[in-house]
Structure 1
Amino acid sequence: MNAVTADMKTELNHAADQSGQASLLRFITAGSVDDGKSTLIGRLLYDSKGIFADQLAAVSRSKHKRTVGDTIDLSLLTDGLEAEREQGITIDVAYRYFATPKRKFIIADTPGHEQYTRNMVTGASTADAVIILVDVSKVKLGDDGSVELLTQTKRHSTIAKLLQIEHVIVAVNKMDLVHYDRNVYDRIVGAYTEFANSLGLKDITAIPLSALEGSNVVERGDNMPWYEGPTLIELLESISVYDETHDAPFRFPVQLVARHNGHEANDFRGYMGRIESGKVTVGDKLVVQPSGVEATVKEIQTFDGALQTAVAGQSVTLLLNEYVDVSRGDVLAGAAHPATLLKQVEADVCWMADEPLDLRRKYWLKHGTRQTMAKVKAIENILDVNTQQRHAAKGLKLNDIARIELAVQQPLAADAYEDIRATGAFILIDEVTHQTVAAGMIRLGE
């Protein structure tokens, strides 16, 4: 796989800016309960003029407002469920859209409570960046120089690493509660950096801010003259987003086999789906997986007409020169770099169900467009998010993160999650209740 240098990414983003097309950044907020995630997003929306007057009016009249007088409770802009407003916590993932002249954004406000960690996994699965909030009032600062971060901070950072989120922003929030003390900020950032290094997180940027007062969120605060870095919105606008899947091998999970309506003479047979990685050109040699039969691309059809070449992210219909057996759930891959066929799968999973894992049961495994039966053969180890140590376990319960071994009924055309997300991810489904019980990331050669 060809590497993309930082200079190339910068040039691509610069080219997009010059063409007038604002790039899109998907990011999430994560942290413990009451760290100020919803208030931070509310401040971003409010100060960047990303909300309408009627929304402001509705929030101002809310019976669950926790501010005094005419002051707006910005957290209510994202806490949409009645239960969230009553309890003052985020339960579900709230998605919000806003834009600045430089970029468009989709925010996922994820829950902080440990009970809803599974919802954080959902929001993080498509994110380019994560803002991890650290509440300065909750961090234990010892007289001996020690700093104890919250378990949820470690848990969310671990999930960010497992899901391969490229950019991590550490927002040290509520600096007003410690009188904007630089020493407190430096100690917290030092402790987080040490923990992040043990995880293997690389692109980390820290910002001191007060979401309640708006310092260093959109506008720079006068109360922290010692901080010379960008504001949060400036940082979000400058993050380089390059879709690595464009350079990965071609992967095309087949969603539907399209035939003509039966009243035409031509024998039209097309394979419909979304290109998850790489590119395809008329004349390319492909392999049908798992069967291994090779074929050549005859045409690439779209709603707007035929294409010579199509790339990752496009939904197309592929026509082949050869008559081959292709069904929904199969993967069309580049013949030179096919996916790995797996009957035994090693993966990291986050258990998302209230009911614990039952090793005696079978589960549905959904991988791309293929659904097959699977059985957990073994729990290799479970991850302690505090120490980053893995240890033996006999079972999995809600929010546990573990390395497991699966046996699947039909082979999967898969890649390592860190190489291609779409063909490296799967979910497990309870065959009785049809509830998603786990989200998994496939690991190869580890």
Structure 2
Amino acid sequence: MQKEFISLLYIYDSKIRDDLSKFSKQNGFILNTCDDFFNASDQVESTAPDLILIDSDANTLKGFEKGVNELIKTASIFKPAVFLVLSEFPEPENRLALLGMGIDEFLIKPFFIRELKEKYNIYHQLKHLQQKILARDRKIEKTFEYLDKFKNEVKKTKAELFEERTMLNNVLKQINHMTGERNRLKKEKSELKKNLADNMEGFGEILSRLIKARIEKNRGHGERVAHIVHFIGKQLKLDEKKLEDLKKAAMLHEVGLLFIPQVILNKAKDQLTDYEKDLFVQYPVKGADLLSTCTEFGNCAQIIRYLNENADGTGSPKRLKRRYIPLLSRILSGADVFDTLKNEKDVTSIENFLEKLEGFSGTRLDPNIVVWLETYAVLHMGSDSYRVKGVGVHQLEPGMSLGTALFTNTGTKLFSVNTLLTKDAIDKIKKYNREYPVNETVYIRA
């Protein structure tokens, strides 16, 4: 882009004076003059010209290289064009010397203003291109610096990644080793757990055989009690773990009797002293204390501990009442009483058995458990002479005879076994069933 005015500093020898009117504003110049070559640097600094014309003989300038350099150095920030005005074109050797001094162009007198402007514009365009090239070179240089820096960063990152990969491989090896070790320990643990379970089962079997050999008067008592508690537990929808604990407790509930001397065990009930009777009352606690030393039998021990608690609160060891007695202990107590009662000599029929069993309801046993014991009895002890069938409450009819006693779910006894149902009795059952439901199935003599 051409400038509107060219700021010109005309330096001339005071002995040589040309007409300077051609450098007027009309011709596009802002003229400043200087007739002392050696002091021109001050004027260059103050006026900051676009173009410096030095009007002198080439031979005269030979010794003034330092002066020309000083001019250029002074204007180094915005270097002006330096043209030398001569009367004749210098010899080649002089031209090279002058160019080396910093002269940009030669003007031979006489010259046209248009020639001067054209040469200046060429110089100006050349400088513009040089500046662009310089800016581009600097940009390229910065780009290469950035690339070198980026290359170093990539190299550093690569080294770090390699180090991290090595560490990761080591960690993975350790994890694989730990996984293998964990699997080995897990397998060992599983085997130990299985061995422990087998040992506990063997320990329970040993105790069970000891009880059978030394304690049980009626062979198979433990197995029968286990069958009864399993039946009741299923009816009450207990989970498998509680059913398993109940079964263990049933098989081992007499383990505390091993602490009683054999001579006392062989005595009849009416021959026992008060002290010996107390031993029989406390044997569940003794058995529970023994079993609780082994964590595998901890739950089983707690069930046995309250075996002799009575529903009316007169039992041992804590004189607990009904719902304060653990449910599993109430079930075990009922099953133990059931099997013992069934083998008494004066029990001659199922009717007689059920009547005796009802006598324990609310005193020794929880009435709710008695309901299930009677259900078990009619389902597993019934014979052709005592057949029953199950019906719903709304299927009851006058003239039917109850096959088991009838209780509400709160333990209230409504009717005894063998009760002949009347319309009033059925209405009473239905009334209670609305407020305190009875069992869904009522067993009737068939």
Place the TM-score, normalised by the shorter chain, in its bin. Answer: under 0.3
Larger Rg: 2
Q: Which has the higher helix share?
A: 2
TM-score (norm 2): 0.22
